[in-house]
Chains A and B, each alone.
Chain A
Amino acid sequence: MRNSIAALRAEHGWSQAHLAGLLGVSRQTMISIERGRFDPSLPLAFRLARTFERPIEDLFSPDTDGEEPGRSCTVDP
């Protein structure tokens, strides 16, 4: 998954340690999430969304590499 955690954190002027403290996880966890090397659990993803007061879709988006052509996450209106 791709995420915009680092950018949102910068908007709030928070350090990785501060955000990790708010979420109750280690700073290493935040580092790995921001680098895209670790996908958070659902409870953690929802806590992130709640902390930034954004919908979860604003924080995370699926990688499009290797996706089958014709399959899309968007819904036609």
Chain B
Amino acid sequence: MRNDDAASTSATRPRAPRSAYVLTAVVGLAACAALAGITVHFGGTPVADRPMHLALSMVVYAPVAFAVAWFLFVARHTAVPEPHAEDGVERGWLERATSAAFLDLLTVLGLALAVLAIGQVDLDATTLLLVVVPAAMADVAVRYLVLRRRES
């Protein structure tokens, strides 16, 4: 019996043409610069500080810009669709991770609401969302990784 447990599938994965990677880099960089430019222009940044703010904004937008460009130009060549993805173990892991994370979110938000109401604390909605949304995403990611480690 062939041992596939340690075998890599990279040899059989389709590859994108070089032009796709070039397009990803160019479009990603352009999107990154455009978003940073818009942020700096409409953000009321003093002219003297604009170059630094532009550079910092580009660093912040770069992961998203390049990820979207990758999805648009490279993933269309390399992603292999699974005809029955709904039957896969990964779908089950994701569903269990998201439902458990949702319960965590309800619990934490409920407790937070109680604490804030009793303490009569006023909290800015943007600040709250800035904490809650990444925490919820991290919760799903961690739960997914734990399930994958335990059940793979």
Instruction: Please report A residues at the B interface, Cβ cutoff 8 Å.
Output: 6, 9-10, 13, 15-17, 23-29, 31-33, 37-38, 40-41, 43-44, 47
Contacts and interface: CB of A to CB of B under 8 A. Distances in A.
Contact of B7 (A9, A17, A33): A17
A32 B151 contact: yes
Interface of B: 1-2, 4-5, 7, 9, 12, 82-90, 92, 150-152
A38 B84 contact: no
Contacts of B84: 23-25, 43-44, 47
Which of B9, B12, B89 is packed against the most chain A CB atoms within 10 Å? Answer: B89
A40 to B, nearest CB: 7
B152 A26 contact: no
B88 A26 contact: yes
Contacts, number: 58
Contacts of B83: 24
Give 7 nearest A-B pairs by CB, closest first: A24-B83, A24-B84, A44-B87, A10-B1, A16-B4, A37-B151, A32-B89
A22 to B, nearest CB: 11
A76 B90 CA distance: 40
Contacts of A9: 1
Contacts of A13: 2
Contact of A15 (B2, B92, B151, B152): B2
A23 B12 CA distance: 17
